[in-house]
Structure 1
Amino acid sequence: TGAARLDRDPATGERVRFSFDAHLAWADRNDPRAATGTFRYSHAVGKEEFTAFVRVDCLSTGGPVATVTGIVEETDVPGLRKKRVGVSVYDDGKRDRLGYSRLVSSPLTDEVPPCNAAAPHEKVVRGGGDFRVLPWVYDGMAG
């Protein structure tokens, strides 16, 4: 869970915002594709802003890192509705980081696989980013 703001270029007013509320399914925590929740993001340059509302379809965590994907349900980006997008987060407690599938593939032309996104490569704005990643614990038996 959490939210983040990335201010890329103050001169152009480019800014990106994300918010997450994604959870592993308690009924089947061993299946990342049974995850539930949503996330939202917006990307603005100057006065132009694009947004998307995404329904989670996969969540994978390991230590302080989580990768979440979902299907876009609402957006003002032509051709993006019903496409899968992915985001990764690194919860370091001080200066969180974020990555997204768009860095390596376009959801408009490429198929983004479940639970896939680029590594969390961007620093969240100082004072921003309040991610809370809970590590996944396998419930199955070894062997």
Structure 2
Amino acid sequence: MRGTLIAVTVAAAALAACSSRTKAPTDAGVCYSVTLPEAGAKGEPEFHVVARDQPQIEHCAAQLEQMRLRFLRMGGSRRDLVGAYQGRFIFIDRAGVYFGQSLEGTRFFALARTGDGRLAVPGAIQREATPEAPATPPAE
């Protein structure tokens, strides 16, 4: 009996923790920019439409990166950006792009920055090969 009570209490606590996570809008093909409340301030995040008819989350990330760069060129100072696409969050920072199911949860690395600042799939980035030194000195 006591074990059942503990299991029910733990399950209720787990459900309460999951329900407190912020969820992204699930509108099909709509890319959002997310404005988060100031640190320490109470309130809900605000979602602003950036683009519609986006076929994939990577296209939304590209739209958000373009918006981030435009704001920086106009004198803005925010280097990090949060967006949302079909129920998932997009986090853009100096290292690249991350995706997550909630604002508070785990983030998964999706796109890396190349040497010139562009975004690319991590496996597609190739480094220049350096010539290897010969194993034996050349014969004279």
- Normalising by structure 2, what TM-score? 0.28
Q: Which has the higher helix share?
A: 2
Higher relative contact order (CA 8 A, sep 6+): 1
The structure with the larger Rg is 2
TM-score by length of 1: 0.28
